[in-house]
Each structure stands twice: as C-alpha cells, then as structure tokens.
Structure 1
Amino acid sequence: MGTIKRGVSLYSYQNETFQGKMSLEDCIRTSAEFGAYGIEVIGEQTFWGWPEVGVEDAKIDEWHQLIAKYDCVPVSHDFMLDYKRYKGREMPFDEQVASVRNDIDFGARLGAKYIRALVSIAPEVLVAAAPYAEEKGIKILIEVHAPLHFDHPWIVRHAEAFEKSGSDALGFLPDMGMFLHAYPPVMVEKFKRLGVPANIADYIVKAYADRVLSEYVILNVQEMGGTGPSIAMAEVLRHNAAYEPKRMLDYMPRIHNIHGKFYQMTADYVEPSIPYDKIVAVLNQGGYDGYICSEYEGNRWIEDAEEPDSVEQVRRQQVMLAKLIGEPTPTALAA
C-alpha cells in the first residue's frame, strides 16, 4: 500500500484568481490550511506572460518564498503546447521539442518534479525531450483525459513509445474525470436552465447510468423532439464515459501525479458522479504514493446562476480525500 498525499491544482481557484479575489499567496495559504501541501500550477494562469515572455526572477523568488512559508511542495507545472494553433501554422517537430524543453526549464525553476503534457502531444515529441528532462530531474507526464483512457490506442501508443525509449522521465497523469460513473447533477441543472425539458433530461441521465451507446442516446433525444440544448446535453456522452479505475494498475509504475477532477462536492462530502472510494482503493492496491491534486471544474456549470465558491468546494473534496486515505481531519477542514 502506498502513502497517498493531498494537493491542489491552483486551476481550481481560476474564478477567484481571474476576478482578483485571490492572490498567489491566498491560493497557497488556503491549500495549506486544508492540509493539501502539494501545489500544482498552470504557468499561464499563475505567471503572467508565460510562455510568450519570460518570467522575472523576482516572481520565481516570490513563489519559492510562499512555498517555504506555508511548508508546501511544488508538484507540477502543467504546460500547454497547442502546436496546431501556433502562429497560424502547425509547429514543426523540432520547435515542439524545443517548446517542451522550455517548459522543462520552467518546471525546474519552480522546483517541481513533474510537468504535465497535454494528451494531444505526440509521443515522439516527448521521447525526444526525455533526455533533457532526465538532466533536469524532471518527469514529463502525459495527461490521460476523457474521452481518452488507458485502453485508447493513442495512450497505448504513448505507453509503447515510453517503454521502448527506456527513459524513466516519461509517465502518465490520469485525470479522474475519465471515471465519470454518473451524469453530474451540476451539468443536468445547467442544461435544464438552458431549456432542456425535464423528461429529456431524465432520459439522458438514466441512459448514461445504463451505459447506452451515445449515438443511440442522441438519436432518441432527436426523436423525442429535442433540439439545441437537448442535443448538446446528449452529446456530453461522446466525451465522457465510466471507464474502470482498475485499469490504472497496469500503468502504475509510470503514474506519478493525479488530477482529482470533480464537478461538485455535496454538503456531506460526496462527489456524486466520480467514485473516489473505488479510485483510492485502486491507488492503494497499486502502491501509489504521489499526490491527488484537487481540480475543481464545476464552476463553469454554475456561474450563470450563482457565484462559484471554489474554496468551499476544494475544502469539501479535501475532507473526502482525507477520510479516504485515512488521515485525521485538519482543523481547517472541520468547518
């Protein structure tokens, strides 16, 4: 059995960060108060101007001072190599590798052990960057994110390339959103506000629970008279599925960080759509000893109706995680 640790992706606080309600110190302090000492960042969100312009040493110094002040650990820098939309052209292979090397350097400046690669990046690019990552003491982790999963040919291709390379600087970062075992209630309510009739919404929720093929669900919704938002609600099934957490076991030696995706935490500390009890059991079985970093994405489904309270949502998930991994509940989580 591993010793799972708790962390937070500062992406969780994106609403408050964008609105100027939370500073970098607020984000780190709040996470630490919850006993979530692992801090994950997206460079573009946390450090203004990255990667188009460099980040001043003073900003990096501030980062390290705050990490030390709150006794935290830099876990990962999540980088965004969108090579398909680079200056109106596809970025050539050598430039992609150079871009990854740039993010390796940035991750090293932050003191992170890992950098997250978007799932769209070809394995050949990561393999080419691996020797440089080894020099810098960094591991590059490809994010396994819905609609992809560990049996998807693209992920299998990465796994094969990683093994063939012989480099231990290449690995995986599973996003728990691929284990969506129920249609998230916050999504249901949003689609209803957009005009989806109750009978159609109820059908889609049940069809998801019954694992009905997405194309049949979309066709049935059309035949029920559904248009616009109703079709959009059904099409969510194309992106999400209830994959099995146990599939992580075969990949565990290369899994080094985890995105604790969640859309909603209820007042009694339950994520109604993602089976975290089963997930943590699988991670323990596999001896996982890295971080689960909270990644709140329910904000975008409620902000049309209410002000998101990302801090409270993260607090609730951290209560759940602390219980599941057998930690005593920190005082700040007992609110």
Structure 2
Amino acid sequence: MSKIQRGVSLYSFQEELFLGTMSVEDCIAFGSSIGAKGIEILPEQNMPEFPNLSDADVARWQDMLDRHGAHFTCYDMFLDTKLRKDRPMSDAEQVESIVRDIKLANRLGIRNMRVLVFVRPDILAACVPYAEQYDVHLGVEVHAPWHLEHAWILRTIDEADRLNTRHLGILPDMGIFMKHYPPAFRARFERQGARPEVTQFIVDSHEAKIMAEYTIYEVAVKMGGNKAEVAMAETLRHAPYANPKRIGNYAPYFRHIQAKFYEMDEDCTDPSIAYDEVIPELVKCGWEGTLSSEYEGNRWIQDVHPVDSREQVRRQHVMFERLIDQAEAAFGAKETV
C-alpha cells in the first residue's frame, strides 16, 4: 500500500480567510473532515503571535489540531532580504532569520519547511547544521518557471549531496506539470477583452509546447494583440510541463508536495495539471510524504461568481484517492505477475 498522505495548505482558503467567512480552525476542521489531515501553515499569515510564540501559544495550536485529528506537515517560511530599511539583509542576517524559523518549526512539531526558491544554496548550507539538530527538512520550492532539472534547482541538490545531508533538498510545486492551459485563465482573459481566436491560438501553442517567447511575439506583433491578449500569452512563461516520469529520480530529495491547482471539474478531474501522470510515478517509486492541496483558482473567477475553496479542495481529494487507489492496483498487479 502506498504511504502517500493527504493534506491541505491553509493558503487554499485565502479567499475565505481574507473575507472572514472562515477561521483558521474552520480550515483545519474542514481539511480533516475530507481526510486531508496534514496541515501546511504559513505562520506569518496564520499565526497572529508570529514570530514570538509562547509555550502557551504552541500548546493552543496543538490542542486545536488534536480536536480535529489533524497535524502540521509543513512550515512555509518567508525571507525578505530587503527587511532592513537602509540596506539588504546580510548573509548572516538571512541565516539568523531561517534558523529562527527552523527552531519555531521544531517547537510546533513540524519536520518540513518550504524555502522560497531565491534563497541561495550557500545560505542554506550554513543552515543545515541547525536543520539537522532540530530535525527539519529544508525544501526549496520548485515553482514555475523553474522545474526539477533547472540549473538553479540542481545547485541545491548538489549542495545536499556535497554535505551528505537528508535535511536539505527540494519541495515540488505541481504547477510545473501544467499539461493543458487552464480554462479558468482563458475565460478570465476573454472577459477582459481578449478575442476568442487569439486565446485559441495561445491555448494551441501551449498544447504544442511551443516556446513562450515565440507565442508572445506572434500575439503582440503579428496579431496586434491587445493588453489582455498579450497578458495571456505572457502567462505561458509560467506554464511549464515538466516530464512526470522524471519525478521519481528526485523523490529522495523531497518529503512534501505543494499540490497546486486552479480548478477541478465536477467529475473531480483536473483539466490542466497532469496528476494522472504524476501520482502513478510517485506510487511506483514508493515515495513517502504528503500531497498538500494548494488552491489558487480564486483570483481567476472572483470577478464573476463567489469562490468556494472548500468544494474545490474536496474535489481534488476525491481525485487523489482515486488516482492513488488506481496506481496501487496497477503496480500491485505487476508485482504479483
């Protein structure tokens, strides 16, 4: 049986949290109710006490999780290198900030930390002794337009190998597996004035995996694209389709996945991101970790109808269960042949 766990990032409920229609506890309770018991938290956004949590504060958070049968899975850290008013943060100050987060993650019982992609590998190397001491894995977010085999990402992997550590690696964002252009994106641009024939050209270009810059040039110059059309073409820079079959090669370097999605159809399928190709590869290689829902479709539909993040997350977890079960059955059958 697969050891893949299911969870949800509180970022998925950004619309409801901003509007005040859900509390953080509501989000945790909902996640647990659909089997997404692993909670990915953004302390700077979700914890009013951050960064100065007392022992009583930590106990209150643990009590909240316990009430709903949930647990923390990942700590999303942020590093503002321009934090100082008169100058950028020094290397030592960056290390100090990350170490502060490592210690807090440990106090909260969290063993995975999402590291923003721009943090330099040498800065992270200086943090590794603390990550090892407090047992927190530093996972550099592999976020579009980066991908698993991007030179910058490979630098972090090389650094982890050089240090021979299991506490430094990566954390894939599933947005890197965008096989089809999201219908919600196209619809929003058309509402902003993009012509259907131009949006179809952009969708077809993405489907053919034509380099983004070529499509942008065609739309902006040859097709006389308007503002919405050029903006749509420019989204292709952040719409890569990495090879799902390669994810198993990098599985030893990550323990958590941000399961990015923009929309789920009524039949609980994702029209854009290739989960039907990625999840079998994860099951096949025996990956152990958490698929953590990260819904970001709210901003593409909020101009036309209310956002229902709960329903979107629920549908994604129906898909997760189905795909994991199918992959387990397929690979289990092969093993018994």
TM-score normalized with structure 2 length: 0.93
Secondary structure of 1:140's aligned partner? strand
Secondary structure of 1:83's aligned partner? coil
1:137 deviates by 1.5
CA–CA distance in structure 1, aligned partners of residues 140 and 245 of structure 2: 19
For 2:304, the equivalent position in structure 1 comes to 305
95, 107, 113: which one aligns with 2:93: 95
2:7/2:290 contact within 8 Å kept: yes
For 1:45, the equivalent position in structure 2 comes to 45
The C-alpha deviation readout for 1:251-307, integer Å capped at 9, x for no partner, is 111110001100000110011000111110111122111100000000111111122
* 1:149 matches 2:179: no
2:137/2:168 contact within 8 Å kept: yes
Higher deviation after alignment, 22-31 or 240-249:
240-249
CA–CA distance in structure 2, aligned partners of residues 144 and 280 of structure 1: 17
* 1:213 matches 2:211: yes
For 2:112, the equivalent position in structure 1 comes to 114
* 1:204 matches 2:202: yes
1:247 deviates by 2.0
1:2/1:286 contact within 8 Å kept: no
* 1:72 matches 2:65: no
Distance 1:193 1:86, change over 3 A: farther
For 1:162, the equivalent position in structure 2 comes to 160
Higher deviation after alignment, 243-252 or 197-206:
243-252
Secondary structure of 2:216's aligned partner? helix
For 1:331, the equivalent position in structure 2 comes to none
CA–CA distance in structure 2, aligned partners of residues 59 and 18 of structure 1: 22
The C-alpha deviation readout for 1:6-47, integer Å capped at 9, x for no partner, is 100111011111111111211111000001111110112211
The C-alpha deviation readout for 1:207-252, integer Å capped at 9, x for no partner, is 1001111111111112112121111100111122111122222211
Percent sequence identity is: 42
CA–CA distance in structure 1, aligned partners of residues 115 and 61 of structure 2: 22
Instruction: Report the AA paired with residue 34 of structure 1.
Output: I
2:157/2:253 contact within 8 Å kept: no
Distance 1:56 1:18, change over 3 A: farther
Trace 1:1-335 onto structure 2 (pairs within 5 A).
2-48=2-48, 50-51=50-51, 54-84=52-82, 86-222=84-220, 223-326=222-325
For 1:333, the equivalent position in structure 2 comes to none
1:89 deviates by 2.7
CA–CA distance in structure 2, aligned partners of residues 7 and 42 of structure 1: 14
1:84 deviates by 4.3
The size of the alignment, in residue pairs, is 325
CA–CA distance in structure 1, aligned partners of residues 201 and 87 of structure 2: 43
Structure 2: which 5+ runs fail to align?
A: 327-337
CA–CA distance in structure 2, aligned partners of residues 315 and 258 of structure 1: 17
Structure 1: which 5+ runs fail to align?
A: 328-335
1:56 deviates by 4.1
2:2/2:324 contact within 8 Å kept: no
CA–CA distance in structure 1, aligned partners of residues 153 and 20 of structure 2: 38
Secondary structure of 1:163's aligned partner? helix
Secondary structure of 2:286's aligned partner? coil
1:2/1:287 contact within 8 Å kept: yes
C-alpha root-mean-square deviation of aligned residues, in Å? Answer: 1.4
Secondary structure of 2:313's aligned partner? helix
Distance 1:19 1:58, change over 3 A: farther
1:69 deviates by 1.3
1:11/1:45 contact within 8 Å kept: no
CA–CA distance in structure 2, aligned partners of residues 145 and 23 of structure 1: 28
